[in-house]
Amino acid sequence: MSDQEQSVSRRQWLKYMNLGVLSMIGASMQKLRDARSAVDHLLLGAADREAGIAWLEERTGVKAVIGGSHPSRGTCNALLSFGSRQYLEILAPDPAQQTLVPQYEFLRQLKTPRLISWAVSMENAEATVASLKTAGVETLGPSPGSRRRPDGKMMTWKSLGVTSDHGLIIPFFIEWDRGVIHPSSDSPQGCRLLSVEFSHPKAADVEGMLRRMGIEAKVGRGQEQIKARIECPKGKVELM
């Protein structure tokens, strides 16, 4: 190889190296959302919707309103607003539907309501898929979802799952369709989400996974758990 060819090769190598460094710097400078502000809604699992509503009202002083049923999933819900496009969803088996999808069979066994999952807001499902792919996060979807409200109106959205073996602490993403009234807008008011915390046996791995998803969160080492602190008419309450 001639001196000129070697010089060109070195320049090309340095160019690619610089591009790689810039790419890493860009990734490291990606703006992260803290977990509390990233929340669209928290899911509180219950074996019975009415019992879940009563349990939550006893602790917060606010009675959740019935939201509706999820066709073909076998679940129904009730809703309580945190204000500012955030809310809590009580999720329970729907007695009006004969079949409950396997992923929610555990709801029937719950002795007391508990936080079972959480959803992160997204503005554009396709852009979120691309961003997660760049970060090395494997996704499932986006998939359409819907439920019919008691007033007959249909709520529709897109949800995006993440492939992970870290359980309930890893959230899913949700994008509400245009024209849909966000559940926080017309659900009972009076509560505000103060913080969301997590614990997991593999805390460092989970924290790293959340960062790759664009979420900054403190994950303590311990039993797998979601913990939320809310301010409500009865004071500050902790849900887990």
Statement to judge: residues 20 and 86 lie in one domain: no
How far is it, in rounded angstroms, from Cα 63 to Cα 72? 27
* Comparison of pLDDT for 166 and 193, the residue scoring more: 193
Closest CA relative to residue 114, chosen from 152, 88, 94: 88
Q: Which amino acid is at 84?
A: S
Q: 41-55: per-residue pLDDT in tens? A: 999 999 999 999 999
Place of tokens 């503005």: 123
- The CATH number linked to 107 is 3.10.180.10
Statement to judge: residues 4 and 20 lie in one domain: yes
Token pair, residue 120, equals: 């992160």
Q: 50-77: per-residue pLDDT in tens? A: 999 999 999 999 999 999 888 888 999 9
Statement to judge: residues 17 and 135 lie in one domain: no
Query: Does the pLDDT value for residue 9 go beyond 70?
Result: no
pLDDT band at 149 (very low <50, low <70, confident <90, very high): confident
What's the predicted TM-score (pTM) here? 0.85
pLDDT score recorded for residue 78: 97
CB atoms < 10 A from the CB of 14, how many?
A: 10
Whole domain around residue 8: which residue ranges? 1-30
**DSSP designation for 63:** P
